[in-house]
Structure formats: C-alpha cells, structure tokens
Structure 1
C-alpha cells in the first residue's frame, strides 16, 4: 500500500448538524468542541449542531466551526491507529493539517481562524467583491479571459480546484465581465457564487497583514509530518509557516498542484475529513487526468467514519 493523505475542506462545506453524531458517540470529539468553545468564547456545539444557518454562514463563525469538526473527526481516526503520511487542506483546511502535524495547538488555531475570517470579511466592503466558478475551461484560456477583463477592475484566479473547475475572484464588474468573456470563449458554465467577499485575490492583502500580527502571538513548531502549502505548493518548514499562512489569504489556492504533488510523492489513498465531500470529487478528476488510480474515502458522520475505519484497518 502507498501513502495515506488526510485532506480537509474549506469554507462552504459547512452545514447545520455537522459533527453532532460523532460527538454523541465519542467523548474525545466532544472534548475538542469544548476546547473550541473556550477558545472562541461561544458554544461551538450549539452553533454547529443547531445553527441557525445564518450564524454558521458568517465567515468568522464558519472557519472555526469547520476546523473544530475536522479536528474532532481526525482525532478519532488517529486513535484507531489510522495515521496519515502527509496532509493538505483547501484554504481554511490547511489549518487542520497544521494542527494534526503538531505545528500549531488546536486552541490557538481555532481562535486564529476566527480572527482570520473576521479580517477576510472586513477587507472588502459588502457588495464590492465577488467570486465565480468557471467550468470546462483550460487554465491557459482562462488567463486570456482574465487579461481581457482587467480593465473593468481587479479579477484574478482564486482556486484551481480540479481540471475544468477554476474559481475567480475580484471586483463585481470585472468578475461579471470575465464570466461573459469565458462563455464566449467556450466555458461550459460561468456562475457567480453566493459568497460575502472576494477570497484569495489581492483585494485581501490587508487581511493577510492583520493575520501576520496575530501569528506573532502564536507558538509555531516543526511538524511531525509533511504539510503542503496552497499558496506555494511546497511543504511547510517552521521558517516558512508564518509567510505561507499570510500569503494564503490573498494568493491562489493551488489545489490541483497540491494533489498532483502528493500523488507523485507516493500517495494513493486520500481520506477527506470534515463536512462535505467535494475534495474527493476533485481528487478523482486530478488523478484521472494524471492517468492514475487513487482510493478516496470521506469521513463526515458515523457511517462514513465506520466504513473508513473498516477499510483502512482491515
């Protein structure tokens, strides 16, 4: 068997009820939620299990909520003897990777991502920026589209999620224009996303600067496993950690590159941990394009947890 990677989702995967079943069945998961509540100053179980959805969707609540759910689930797997050889996460998910690699304490990280979410939301006034998913278009053609749209304002590639799915980010007019041009140039779809800010573009540099100040107060350590950076597609070192996390706020998420690197480094089993299962879909498409086969498992509730444990311990 090849190497195992734990991968963690980003913002947008959240739903009311996430983590509830796991907490009802595992004391260690419940304790993680209690630690999160202490760190952020509100009842994390209540937010995740009961909502309301409008509260859970607020960026400064979403980020610590997803991180908490991811860590609670990954701790159970580790307790069952299922440990990763490498880890990566999509945007926010990278923090879960750093926690399981012991590069950052969980309580520090959950308080930090609450602030990260707040700074990201505050960086651009509501209604000024947006994001859009461009489906069925090559990276090279999309670069032309972005060049043609720049006269209308800031517009940049934000997420390279999978072959044929790229998310763009920037000022509303420029993003709308890019969607128009993308359709003219053969994109299957160009859809404005229901987001509250233009994440992962240069408009969020001020949020990264504020986060930099917060990171000065957090203890960062050498990891006990490799963790990949979205912004650089390189493995973290202690010296890079702060820079990589600051860059990650305003630079593109190189998820396709991350997955290709893990596969090329011997990973053949990916375990997606946390709410949703979009990463598993992206990984299968990336592997297919590389002409290789990988195993993907998803842990989001008791059934998927037990299924994954049965297969990986069997």
Structure 2
C-alpha cells in the first residue's frame, strides 16, 4: 500500500450548497459552519448553503467559504479512520491543508483567509489586473513570452502551473492580453480569460503580502503534524516559521501544483483524496500521472465510494 495525500481545492471550486448535506447529517460538521459564522460575525453559512453563487464567488466570501466547506467535509471523513501521510492545497487550499495538519486552528484559518481575501481585493483596483489560462504550451516558452511583455512595461508572469499544458498567467490587464496574443502566435492551443477580481500570484500582489504578514503575526502557528507540500517550493514543510514565510511568499509567487503532485508521487504517494466541492484537483492529478488514484469527497455518496475503494486496496 502506497502513501496517502489529502488535497484541498482553491478559489474557483466554490459551489452554493457545498457541505450542506453532510452538515444536516453530522452535528460535528454543522458545528464547523456555525464556528465560521461566529468568527466572521455574519451568516457565511447561509451564503455557502443557499447562495447566490455571485455572492459566494466574491473573493472575500469564497476564501473562508471554501476553507470551511473543505474542513467540514474532512471532519465527516474522519470517521473512516484514514489518515494522510502528506497534505497539500491549491493556493487558498494551502490554508485548508494547514488546518488539516494542525498548523493553525480552524478559527484562525477562517479569520486569516477572510483578511487575505480583503487584502488581495484591495491590492490592485478592480479591472486593472487579471489572469488567463493558457492551454497546450510548455512553461519555458510561455515564461519567455511573459518576460518579453513585462520588459515592455506591462507586468505579467506564470501564476499557476497546474498540469502539463495548463498554465495560468497573471498580471496587469494589458500584460495578460498582450501575453495571451503572443502565446497563441507561439503555438498555444487556447487562451481562456479567467473571471477573477485581480492578478493573484503575481508581483502586483506584493503590497497585500506586506499587510498580510501583520495578520499572520497575530495568529498562533504550530509545527504541522504531517508534512505540507508548499505551493511556492513544491517541497514538504512542517516548521512554523517556514510555514509563515511561505504563506506570505505564496501571495505573489506561482503555485507549483504540477511539481507538488510530482513531489508527492516521488515520496511514495499513490492515492490522493480531495476534500471540497467538485473534482478539479483529482482531474489535475490524473493529468499529471494516469496511474495515480484520486478520490474526490464532497458528499455522502462520494465519501462512501472513496472509503470502500480505499478499504479494498488495503
């Protein structure tokens, strides 16, 4: 039996109704949604359960909502007794992973990502920065395109290296538009503009990082109980000081998701369990390594399917 990694999705995966079925069936799960409401002093749970989707998708809501839903789904999964050897999360999901690893409390996690969302929204006035997904292009040539465009005065850079042939670029609106055209000229199959409120994981987020460091100063970070594969380095981290530094860097650095999954495979992981709405990360895992096993868990049915598959493997 190989090792198991728990994965947690990032912004963009949010869906109205996520975690609702499990909250109705499990008191401990429901309690987490109530706790999130207490921390934020508002009824985020009703936005999570009822929507509307537009309100849930606002960065300041999506970030605490996804962390809450992911940890709630994990809470339900705990009854299986299955424990991870590693945890990892995509961008915002790294916070869910750190809560799962015991590096900080659920309440501190909810507070931190609400502030992170606010600071990310404030860092660049709406409409001045954006992101786009580039499909069917290697990272080297795409990085060259971004460097050329940035040198011309419109910053743009690689932001999410998700899987082979799927890379998200981020930066100023002009930079992203220019790089998108140049990427197509250089052979990219498709470029899809993303519906995001800012240029996340780009240098333009540096002002937010300085402010966010102060938020983390007021949060108690412990050593992680299991290694967390960091977005910015694709290496395991457990030390509290390192975790803090990497979370600040993560705001303006690329998310090395493909490298992170490859690192876990190298470390002997062959089974990935995704906690959160949808199956985005499970899909990326399969694109990175077809032989890896990936199980998304988001409701009772997917929970039962994952547990019975895992028990069979043993």
Short-chain TM bin: over 0.9
Give, in angstroms, the shift of residue 147 of structure 1. Answer: 2.1
Pairing 1:313–2:289 present? no
Structure 1 contact 152–177 (Cα < 8 Å) conserved: no
Q: Measure, in 2, the Cα distance between the counterparts of 1:312 and 1:69.
A: 22
Pairing 1:173–2:171 present? no
SS at match of 1:73: helix
1:235 aligned residue: 236
Q: Measure, in 1, the Cα distance between the counterparts of 2:287 and 2:223.
A: 32
Moved over 3 A (4+): none
Q: Measure, in 1, the Cα distance between the counterparts of 2:51 and 2:140.
A: 41
TM-score between both structures, scaled by the size of structure 1: 0.97
2:297 aligned residue: 299
| Paired residue total | 310
Alignment deviations for residues 163-209 of structure 1 (CA, whole Å, 9 cap, x no partner):
00000000011110111011111100011111110100000011111
1:2 aligned residue: 2
SS at match of 1:250: coil
1:139 aligned residue: 139
1:218 aligned residue: 219
Name which of structure 1's ranges 35-44 and 131-140 shifts more when overlaid on structure 2.
Answer: 35-44
Structure 2 contact 36–45 (Cα < 8 Å) conserved: no
Name which of structure 1's ranges 238-247 and 255-264 shifts more when overlaid on structure 2.
Answer: 238-247
Give, in angstroms, the shift of residue 98 of structure 1. Answer: 0.6
1:117 aligned residue: 117
Q: How large is the RMSD of aligned CA atoms in angstroms?
A: 1.0
Give, in angstroms, the shift of residue 238 of structure 1. Answer: 1.7
Alignment deviations for residues 27-75 of structure 1 (CA, whole Å, 9 cap, x no partner):
1110111111111111132010111222111101100000000001111
Q: Measure, in 2, the Cα distance between the counterparts of 1:45 and 1:253.
A: 28
Structure 1: runs of 5 or more not aligned:
none
Q: Measure, in 2, the Cα distance between the counterparts of 1:147 and 1:120.
A: 23
Alignment deviations for residues 264-283 of structure 1 (CA, whole Å, 9 cap, x no partner):
00000000110121111111
Pairing 1:20–2:36 present? no
1:266 aligned residue: 268
Q: Measure, in 1, the Cα distance between the counterparts of 2:115 and 2:171.
A: 22
Structure 2: runs of 5 or more not aligned:
none
Give, in angstroms, the shift of residue 148 of structure 1. Answer: 2.3
Structure 1 contact 8–70 (Cα < 8 Å) conserved: yes
